[in-house]
Structures are given as structure tokens and as C-alpha cells.
Structure 1
Amino acid sequence: MTDLLHYETHVRGAPQNRRIVAIGSSTGGPQALQTVITGLPEHFPCPVVVVQHMPAGFTGALAERLNGVARVEVREACDGDVLRPGCVYIAPGNRQLRVRQEAGGRRIALSDEPPVGNHRPAVNVMYDSVAHLGNDVVAVILTGMGCDGREGMRRIKQNGGYCIAQDEATCVVYGMPKSVVDAGLADEICPLPKIAGAIQAAVRR
């Protein structure tokens, strides 16, 4: 409890709201997301955007379930949503999600543009949209098949962002994190139960 109070006091008094957390996941992702998101404190100072490979009609139920157990707010993203600290936005199935910088702040932009790497939503599309934010970005890659997210993570790293990858032992499928780790892009490789803490530490940097 003391550590949590210290964390909340620190972030409330610091200019942390420019930070954004971007999470990509696929096979095994819903349970991994639950572990990570329920590990975030109530006063988490950043917005979180999530791409989970999932068909249309399922992401809303996922968001609702996670919202019921998390201390942060979790919702299925809507086009035009203004990103708020302490809120998690999950990309709707069959829509591409980008983060746009506008006069009123950062907003969600959804589109029906074609799949990228056979994925819609695609982690690479989301990562690409935040890469220009440089060291404001904390990017997380969780369990999943294939390599979606690797090239977007490369651009995030080139611009000074921070990368956390789930370790092999706790992945259902060590595909997406492996592709990032093998490319030398991971700043940290963490077991799933420690990722929420790693995110909080990265946000404090």
C-alpha cells in the first residue's frame, strides 16, 4: 500500500500525462490483458490503447469484462474518443485503430482500411500511429502467433520509445514477443505477472 501511495503521489505531481501505453496481443491475449490491466492502479496517469486480434462482436464483451475487474476504466474504442489518463481503449474487431494528434488532444481514429499482415485491427498500424511520439511511448507486446507489431515496434524504438515484451515461459504462443526480442527491440523481457509493474516503472522514467 505504501508503494502504491508513493506511486500515485509521484505521478499526480509530475507531468506524466504526455505518456501513452500501447499494447499488442493475439493468441492468449484476453487472459494476458486481464493480468496486465488489473495490475494497473486506479490513478494510472496515462491512457492505454490496445490491439487484440479478435473478430468484430467480441471486443466489446472483452472490454466490458475487463472493466468489471480492473481499477482503471476499460472500454471498446469509438472513433473520435479523446484519450484520457486512466482509461484503456480496446480496438474494435475488424477496425484499424490509430492515435491522432489534434488541437483538442490525442484522439482515437478508426477505419475500415484493408488488413495489414492479414490483421484488422493490426498491432503494426497502432504502433505506427504512436511512433512519432518518441519517448512518450511505452509499448508492450504480449502473447500471440506471428510477427504483427515487430515493424511498428522498430519505428517506436527508432524514435526513442520504450519496449516491454512478455517472456517465453508465460506466453501461450511465443510468436509476436519472440519476433520483437529476436530483432533486438525489447528493453525488458518480463514474465506476465510483472508486466504491469514494468509499465508503471517505465511511465515514471
Structure 2
Amino acid sequence: MAKTRVVVVDDSALVRSLLTEIINRQPDMECVGAASDPFVAREMIRNLNPDVITLDVEMPRMDGIDFLSKLMRLRPMPVVMVSTLTERGAEVTLKALELGAIDFVAKPKIGVADGLKQLAQEITDKVRIAAKARMHKPSAATLAAAGAPPRPAHKEPTHSPETPRTVASTLGRLSTEKLIFIGASTGGTEATKEVLMALPADSPAVVITQHMPPGFTKSYATRLDGLCKIRVKEASDGERILPGHAYIAPGGFHLSVDKSGANYVARVTSEDPVNRHRPSVEVLFRSAAHLVGRNAVGIMLTGMGADGARAMKEMRDAGAYCIAQDEQSCVVFGMPREAIAAGAVHEVLPLNQIAGHMMDHLRSTAGPALTRV
């Protein structure tokens, strides 16, 4: 069985040595080269033709984002970013994911040697996933905008003044009654962004569990808030869940929904990981099944593993409408595949059709006034 060939790119000699050691300990992979900067890496990639690159976010001479942009334009290949647990590191990592990086590993700010050794399993798991992931080359516009800040969002009012009163009241009733639940992992930051950007300002509330570590979800939510018509924020425990808003599970915490009188509220907790994850899609979807039932819509996006599949089946059994992303548009088809195999899914759709199909479904079940919109 051929080993996965990896090139490590990092300006720290210590990190290069540690990553090389971690990779070479695995029976199914080998580090074929370690580069101190992107210029050395460029020659290694040309000569060694690796399967996967691990790439430091911030380096001298040419930073990781510039290098990744050039790489994805000229020779797209699977990349796992190595990020620092800082606000700057989080923002740059999110840009890397936009440019086509498969995933990232967050290295600690201090105690790097011990920290990376503790992350050995995560690092090698993500290299394996990257080696098998489906590459989606970013658009020319995305590559051209590399490094640019998100554009300011124009947040429309929930209803324009000229909207007919009867239709507006139906829209309002729809957004108040329904909740949308999204689960995602590898490749999910961009997939979730595509769904949210397609939603109208008066969309029902969206509650999201994306597998991300602490320190990254706040920057992710802020970035999405600048791109979407709906408001996007990191969820806070006890806050009311409102239409026209999306709530993202904070890294390292589970997110679920609860009832407070007639209102839905967010629950953010630090209980044990579920399916090895915290946040876990299973926790979020199970709360949807138990408390929201037929007023829930479930969406399973790209990701490795089976987190959330059983709970999505519970959602469907409780009357929820459930959608899975199709294999062709997934970076990794694991989570949608498992949800489909569990009998949890009504529709399997390409990513670019999910938001529109979901809104059509919601309109078709909301009564005659809404179907005329």
C-alpha cells in the first residue's frame, strides 16, 4: 500500500522536526520534505510531487496565504494549515479555508513541542482526510480577493414597506415557527457560508454546529456576519433564538436549543465530548428532535465521520424535514453518507441548491399567502 507523501512547510526548525517525526511514525504516511519557507517549498513540491502539504499560516518572505493562493491557482492540492491560537491566526486560517485548504490544526501559543505531541493524532487524522478529500478549486474571484477583508453586509429590514400585509404576516409566522439546524465538519466552514449567504434577511433562525476548536468560532461568525443578509454570531448561553439570525456553537462547547416559555433559547454547555466532538452535531440535532419536532429543518453538510447521523434520524422521526449535501459537492462525504444510510434524509442535494430548495419547501408548507412571494 502506497504511503501518503507529505511536505511540511514551517519557518520553525522545531516545528518542522516535530511534524516530520509525527508523520514518519505513521505506517501509512511519510514526510518526504520539510521546507523553511514557501520558496523552498515551491521547489520541493515541483520535485517531490507530495500528496498533502502542511502549511504554516505566518512565515517570512511570503506568508502562507499568498503562497496558498498561488498554489491553488497553479497546482491545486490538499493542504492542512497549521495555525496559531490567536485572533490574527484565526482570521488568516479562515481565509485559507476560503482559498481551498482542506482543514487546519491549531498549535498552542506556548509549549509548542508538548502541544504538538499531544495533537499528533489530530494532525495525522487530518492529513489522512486531506489525502482522500475532494478538491474544489476556488473561483477566480475568491483567489483575486485573497487577503481582502469581508465586504460590509447590507442588512435589509425584515420586510420592506411595500410588502403586502398578508404576505408579511405569513413570512413572520414562518420565521417565528421554524428553526433551521446545520451540522458540518471538514469543508464545512465554506459550505455553511454558501448556505447562509443564500438566505433572505427574514429567514427562520439558523442554529449551527461546525466542528471547530476554541478561539476560531468568534472570528468565523464575525466574518459570516459581514457577508450574509442575516445576522451571524457566536451563540451565548440563555439567549433568545430570533428569526433572521444564525447562531454558531462556540469552539469547545456543545450547543443545543431549549424552551423558555413560548421562546426558543440557546444552551451552551461544556459536558463531555460526544462522538469525540465538542461541539457535537449529535447534541444539537437531538435537541431539535425533542423540542422542535416538525418545525425543524435539518441540514447535514460535508464532514468526516458519523456525528449527528442518529440524531438526524430522530429529527426525521419527529417530523422534521432533512437534507444532506451530495457527494460531488462535498469535500468529505462521511457525515452526509452516514445520515443517508441511517434513513434520516428526505433530499440529497448539491450544495448550491440546498438553501433555495429549503426555502421553497418552507414556503410550500406555510400556506397560500407565502407561496405567492
What's the TM-score bracket when you normalise by the shorter of the two chains?
over 0.9
Deviation per CA, 1:160-199: give whole Å up to 9, x if none.
1110100000000000000011222211111000111122
The partner residue of 2:168 within 1, 6, 12 is 12
Deviation at 1:98, TM superposition (A): 1.1
Q: Secondary structure at the match of 1:140?
A: strand
**What letter is aligned with 1:129?**
S
Deviation at 1:12, TM superposition (A): 2.6
Q: Secondary structure at the match of 1:147?
A: coil
Greater CA drift, 9-18 or 111-120: 9-18
Q: Corresponding residue for 1:136?
A: 295
Q: Secondary structure at the match of 2:209?
A: strand
Q: Does 1:165 align with 2:344?
A: no
In structure 1, stretches of 5+ residues that fail to align are: none
The partner residue of 1:176 within 335, 343, 368 is 335
Deviation per CA, 1:13-65: give whole Å up to 9, x if none.
22211110000000000110111000001221x11000000000101111011
Query: Identity over the aligned pairs, expressed in percent?
Result: 41
Inter-CA distance 71–102: structure 2 relative to 1 (3 Å threshold) = same
Q: Corresponding residue for 2:199?
A: 40
Structure 2 length-normalised TM: 0.52
The partner residue of 2:216 within 50, 58, 68 is 58
CA distance in 1, matches of 2:247, 2:357: 20
Matches within 5 A, 1:40-119: 40-44=199-203, 46-103=204-261, 105-119=263-277
Q: Does 1:125 align with 2:283?
A: yes
Greater CA drift, 102-111 or 143-152: 102-111
Structure 1 length-normalised TM: 0.93
Q: Does 1:149 align with 2:308?
A: yes
**What letter is aligned with 2:273?**
P
The partner residue of 1:195 within 354, 363, 366 is 354
Larger Rg: 2
Taking CA–CA contacts closer than 8 Å with sequence separation of 6 or more, which of the two structures ends up with the larger relative contact order?
Answer: 1
Deviation per CA, 1:124-175: give whole Å up to 9, x if none.
0000111022210000000000001101101101111110100000000000
Deviation at 1:104, TM superposition (A): 5.5
**What letter is aligned with 2:190?**
Q
CA distance in 1, matches of 2:297, 2:316: 10
CA distance in 2, matches of 1:43, 1:31: 22
In structure 2, stretches of 5+ residues that fail to align are: 1-159, 366-373
CA distance in 2, matches of 1:140, 1:99: 16
Q: Secondary structure at the match of 2:177?
A: coil
CA distance in 1, matches of 2:303, 2:356: 21
**What letter is aligned with 2:237?**
D
CA distance in 2, matches of 1:96, 1:180: 20
What value does the CA root-mean-square deviation take over the aligned residues? 1.5
Q: Secondary structure at the match of 2:328?
A: helix
Inter-CA distance 194–92: structure 2 relative to 1 (3 Å threshold) = same
CA distance in 2, matches of 1:149, 1:84: 23
Greater CA drift, 97-106 or 33-42: 97-106
CA distance in 2, matches of 1:151, 1:95: 20
